[in-house]
Structure 1
Amino acid sequence: MTTRRTTTAAAAIVLTVGLTGCSGFTGGGDDAAADTITFTTWASESEQDSFEKLAAQFEAEHDGATVDLKIVPYDQMFSNIDAQLSTGDAPDVFRVDYGNLGVYSSQGQLLDLSGQLDDEDSFQPAMLEAVSFDGKPYGVPHQTDVSALLVNTDLATAAGVTDLPTSQEDAWTWDEFADVSAKLRASLPAEQYPFVVNWQQGGTPRWLSWLFQAGGNVLEEDGTTPAVDSPEGEEALAFTQSFFTQQWVPPTSSVKSTSYADTLFGEQTTAMAFVGSFLVPELADTDFEWTAVPMPVDERGATDLGGNALVATADTDQPELATEFVNFMASADAMTEFCAATNELPTRTDIDASSIDFAVRPDVMPVFVDQATTIQPSDVKQLTSPYLAEISVGLQDQLEAAFTQNQSVDDTLSALDQSIAQATR
């Protein structure tokens, strides 16, 4: 998820993009407010710059239209949106991560975009699934980002790990990844660790990548019946629990930790780290050499569903203009420009992600592009369930018990199924 710490430098900034125009909407004078839409989002520095440029371009192409762009910190984003929705003061358009979108669409709070998406067939099927509820689209899949594994090449070489995979075809199996981790553990001093996983706090659903890799599911096909307590769930939990018992990860890096994976990697506390592509720019200036390799595979490859959609609120006074804006932002040209500037990934099949001129560390981005191909529509359906937010609460509690309190695999899976059943009632 492109959520964590992307707005620490943008504390409650409110920006209004100026008015220009050439075609589309008419306005001016007393009618000017009628052609204004509000757009609320969080943003990293590069995202903010891109949003500003694209909003100005939209205004230039739509005579009389104004985009009132508001940048807020992520940790305030949805509490603000919820309060505004309850009082009828919500923005016309806002940004939402795929995991939270289902909460709003299932409650009738978003504009149904059925038949209103430009080039609907050009979006990746998995990403269309991410913005859909009951078969209807309630937003545009604006971008995605996925996790891959970053490797400190000097520390890896010192441990005898020199054969690094570059694609899904030669990705490490779980057994091979365990062998690499054991080599690093033997080579590193006690205060350093082989790797860290980015499942802290709001990233807890990233544990599901391991479940999917094992061939498991969190929910059955009906979308409500728990499916974690299974042989696949047992395999995934036992393997990830071993990260702590084998001292492969810092003991303070569990799901409730406030020590994030990219920070620990940047400090060289760990030799490897599972990190989303959106954090590549933050790690570009480290004083050591690193590269990216694919996530390990078991029965299949899998990764997390990062990224965000743009949605219009159901009660917007400007449904036509709001729809025009989200379509513009998700157009091939605008999406390519945004992704190139932010090291994020496109959601359209007519954009060749491998040909994007990424602004930072373009040498490692092909691994993330390749990793994104492991996302399956069935994964997306579960990761965008309207119950996911509540499921995640139980997931965090039970994984924390398994990882830091030695709760057994059987007890953890049983408790997880019970909490999921309660969440989906």
Structure 2
Amino acid sequence: MHITRRTLLAGLGAVTLPVALAGCGFVPQDTGGQADADTLTFTTWGTDAELAGFRTAIRGFQRAYPGRKVALNAVPYEQMFTNIDAQLQAGNPPDVFRVPYYSFGAYAGRGQLLDLSRSLNAGVGDRFTATAWAAVQSDGRPFGVPHHTDTSAILVNTDLMEQAGVTELPRSVDEAWTWDELGDVADRLRGALPDDVYPFAYNWQGNGVTRWLSLLFQAGGAFLDADQKTPAIDSAAGRRAVSFAQRFFEERWVPANDSIKSATYASDTWYRQRVAMVWSGAFQIPDAAQTLDFPWTATYAPRQERGGSDFGGNALVATAQTTKPDLAASFLDFITRRPQMQDFCERASLLPTRRDLVDGGLRFRVRPELTRTFVDQASVIQPEDVAQVASPDMASIITVLQNGLEDAFVGGAGARETVATLQRGIAAATGGRA
């Protein structure tokens, strides 16, 4: 049994590490010698590589600003947000925490995050890509900083591909397979592989249901209008995206247990060599390189009307209840400077949000030749895609998507019925008009 990211995270214990902290975005003011006023609490989860990146940055903070400290608390992912929510309700949250972009909007919408527009220098936003900066905005103001991103390309078992005579893969994001071309490849694999080995698996299990939205974007669709309330999924593009995903199951391109609510993650199926391809984020690369005993590489997710991909990754946010807003802003500035972001992303095989790293200069420490595939894959994500996922109601929308798409993929609901159901559910979640 290979160690997945999820099982790895579950095994991490709580760790507290004091470190020094400061940054040029905002230099903390003198606190009169009060120890607590000089210590920032920071809660996160992380893989071994991610936590090593945080700790390396923390040592840099201590060298730069002796006396400014951060208490780093690392917890298992499964406990992370149960703990954060309970602490917010009790009035004793950490000063800073890590949050997925798809959860950011809910915290910002409830007024639980610190408005950084007055704390960060005005030019800090210019360091980030437009897409990344859009992901941490609420009502036109920043309530966090985009620490890193990730997106799903396709990991490929080259041995299984060669069994079907597929030896050429797209060499650029502009040459990515269209849906028809992906279907042709899947048909070739289905005909050549053993009955219990499948062409691919899609990583939309659990909260990963947001990755189905990549197909919706590829079809030229949206699930919310610009107001983040009015549902837009009941459309020709929505029906095409549902119908195409239904073919995965109807034509046995994916295993039957690759559904939205499956307890089996797509990556687990690929590790066991039961599929030739898997949609995956770059974060899987270090584990795969250490674990797999078959040759593999990466290629691009498909395109249709346009390229489309998921905006994964995490922001760093300060809580509105923090008594150290200046120190929190200093931390958020420091950790997103180029040296710290480059080190973190290269260690953990994650994608940067800084313009000067996206445009070059980044190389994963493991399988560096795959860096460009994931960086280019992320380039097809549009700011308007991210703005939808940053909806304050995204947690409720995720439940709507999980239920509606599961019914479409394994419950027999048709595409037209499915998007109509999703439209009504999203309207109920956002208070918009269906």
Mark yes or no: TM-score above 0.5.
yes
User: Which residue matches 1:325?
Assistant: 331
Distance 1:275 1:134 in 2: 32
Please tell me whether residue 153 in structure 1 is matched to residue 158 in structure 2: yes
User: Which residue matches 2:380?
Assistant: 374
Give the stretch that moved more between structures: 66-75 or 160-169: 160-169
User: Which residue matches 2:406?
Assistant: 400
Q: What is the SS of the residue equivalent to 1:17?
A: strand
Q: Indicate which of 192, 195, 210 corresponds to 1:190.
A: 195
User: Which residue matches 1:56?
Assistant: 59
Q: What is the SS of the residue equivalent to 2:71?
A: strand
Contact 1:21 1:64 in 2 (8 A): no
User: Which residue matches 1:70?
Assistant: 73
User: Which residue matches 1:9?
Assistant: 11
Task: Label 1:4 to 1:381 Cα distance change in 2 as closer, same or farther (>3 A).
Answer: farther
Return the letter of the residue paired with 2:164.
Answer: A
Please tell me whether residue 32 in structure 1 is matched to residue 41 in structure 2: no
Distance 1:77 1:159 in 2: 43
C-alpha displacement of 1:319: 0.7
Q: What is the SS of the residue equivalent to 1:191?
A: coil
Q: What is the SS of the residue equivalent to 1:355?
A: coil
Q: What is the SS of the residue equivalent to 1:190?
A: coil
Q: Which runs of 5+ in 2 are unaligned?
A: none
Residue-by-residue CA offset, 1:357-406 (whole Å, 9 max, x unaligned): 31111111211010010110110011111111101101101111111111
Residues 217-232 of structure 1: matches in 2 within 5 Å? 217-232=222-237
TM-score by length of 1: 0.96
Residue-by-residue CA offset, 1:311-350 (whole Å, 9 max, x unaligned): 0111111111111001101111111111111100110112
Give the stretch that moved more between structures: 110-119 or 146-155: 110-119
Residues 230-249 of structure 1: matches in 2 within 5 Å? 230-249=235-254
Q: What is the SS of the residue equivalent to 2:10?
A: coil
Contact 2:19 2:68 in 1 (8 A): no
C-alpha displacement of 1:30: 5.9
Contact 1:103 1:387 in 2 (8 A): yes
Q: Indicate which of 111, 114, 123 corresponds to 2:114.
A: 111
Give the stretch that moved more between structures: 316-325 or 25-34: 25-34
Distance 1:181 1:50 in 2: 38
Contact 1:262 1:283 in 2 (8 A): no
Distance 1:33 1:212 in 2: 47
Task: Label 1:3 to 1:157 Cα distance change in 2 as closer, same or farther (>3 A).
Answer: closer
Return the letter of the residue paired with 1:325.
Answer: F
Q: Indicate which of 365, 390, 395 corresponds to 1:389.
A: 395
Contact 2:38 2:69 in 1 (8 A): yes
Contact 1:22 1:60 in 2 (8 A): no
Contact 2:44 2:97 in 1 (8 A): yes
User: Which residue matches 1:308?
Assistant: 314
Q: What is the SS of the residue equivalent to 2:315?
A: strand
Contact 1:265 1:271 in 2 (8 A): yes
Residues 244-393 of structure 1: matches in 2 within 5 Å? 244-285=249-290, 286-352=292-358, 354-393=360-399
Give the stretch that moved more between structures: 114-123 or 58-67: 114-123
Q: Indicate which of 406, 417, 431 corresponds to 1:411.
A: 417
Return the letter of the residue paired with 2:197.
Answer: Q
Contact 1:261 1:273 in 2 (8 A): yes
Give the stretch that moved more between structures: 53-62 or 254-263: 53-62
Contact 1:37 1:322 in 2 (8 A): yes
Distance 1:63 1:102 in 2: 35
Distance 1:199 1:22 in 2: 38
Give the stretch that moved more between structures: 54-63 or 97-106: 54-63
Contact 1:99 1:383 in 2 (8 A): yes
C-alpha displacement of 1:302: 0.8
Distance 2:21 2:360 in 1: 34
Q: What is the SS of the residue equivalent to 1:284?
A: helix
TM-score by length of 2: 0.94
Identity of aligned residues (%): 47
Q: Which runs of 5+ in 1 are unaligned?
A: none
C-alpha displacement of 1:222: 2.4
Distance 1:84 1:125 in 2: 32
C-alpha displacement of 1:269: 0.7
Residues 190-209 of structure 1: matches in 2 within 5 Å? 190-209=195-214
Please tell me whether residue 215 in structure 1 is matched to residue 217 in structure 2: no
User: Which residue matches 2:100?
Assistant: 97
Residue-by-residue CA offset, 1:138-187 (whole Å, 9 max, x unaligned): 00000000100111111111101111002112111100000000000001
Give the stretch that moved more between structures: 2-11 or 178-187: 2-11
Residue-by-residue CA offset, 1:81-129 (whole Å, 9 max, x unaligned): 1110111110000000100011111111111011433532121111111
Distance 1:368 1:222 in 2: 30
Return the letter of the residue paired with 1:208.
Answer: L
Q: What is the SS of the residue equivalent to 1:63?
A: coil
User: Which residue matches 2:128?
Assistant: 123
RMSD over aligned Cα atoms:
2.0
